[in-house]
Amino acid sequence: MDRLYILIVHALDNDNTMREEAEITINVEDENDNSPVFSTASQSIYCDENLGMGQTCGKVIAIDADQGNAGDVEYKLPGAQETWYRNDGSIENRNLGLFEIDAVTGEVRLTKSGKQTDFDREKYTKVEIVVTANDAPGKMANTGLVEQKVEIYLNDVNDNAVRVVEYPGQGI
């Protein structure tokens, strides 16, 4: 924790009469001795299937107990590990590079428009990715890197027009 100390210094003469008084401010900066941590085994975010390119799905959060710069966190997506869960329960590893994470804020965004990809609730229920967090670069101590599983659930959007099926010869 950052602490601010203010010292009042008195300079006395030999006969103990005061000559000078000075105020000294000492700012003790927090040491970077904590890595970021994820408080749960996984995080869930919910994302509309028709989200546009560059739009934010949700946010991943890691906590760093340090104060000031020592508490900054850097988020990354190591590789493009994506596990896609189909509506029928089957699982596919499809590393499409569909997601990116903001290194500073932890916001997860789509790199392509959901409409133009398989990010489609009519096919898939969720995609799992792995993100990492570590102390922001250029800090005194880099005490480690932690991983987090992030489950991105697809929200169904009404993106299919009603189809009128006509049966010939069944007129009223």
- Choose, by CB under 5 A, the member of 51, 101, 109, 135 that binds Ca ion: 135
3-state secondary structure of 95: coil
Residue 169: count other Cβ atoms within 10 Å of its Cβ: 5
User: For residues 115 and 98, what is the distance between their CA atoms, to the nearest angstrom?
Assistant: 12
Instruction: Indicate whether 82 belongs to the interface with Ca ion (CB under 5 A).
Output: no
CB 99 within 8 A of CB 152: yes
User: For residues 63 and 142, what is the distance between their CA atoms, to the nearest angstrom?
Assistant: 15
Pick 92 or 156: Cβ nearer Ca ion: 156
CB 65 within 8 A of CB 34: yes
The contacts of residue 129 (CB under 8 Å, 6+ apart) are 77, 81, 82, 83, 99, 108, 149, 150, 152
Instruction: Indicate whether 34 belongs to the interface with Ca ion (CB under 5 A).
Output: yes
- Choose, by CB under 5 A, the member of 62, 64, 129, 131 that binds Ca ion: 64
- Choose, by CB under 5 A, the member of 2, 92, 102, 122 that binds Ca ion: 122
- # chain residues binding Ca ion, by CB under 5 A: 15
Choices 15-23, 27-35, 39-47, 84-92 (CB under 5 A): range interacting with Ca ion: 27-35
3-state secondary structure of 21: strand
Instruction: Indicate whether 66 belongs to the interface with Ca ion (CB under 5 A).
Output: yes
Choices 8-16, 20-28, 42-50, 77-85 (CB under 5 A): range interacting with Ca ion: 42-50
- Choose, by CB under 5 A, the member of 2, 33, 92, 102 that binds Ca ion: 33
Contacting positions for Ca ion (CB under 5 A): 30-34, 49, 64, 66, 70, 120-122, 135, 156, 159
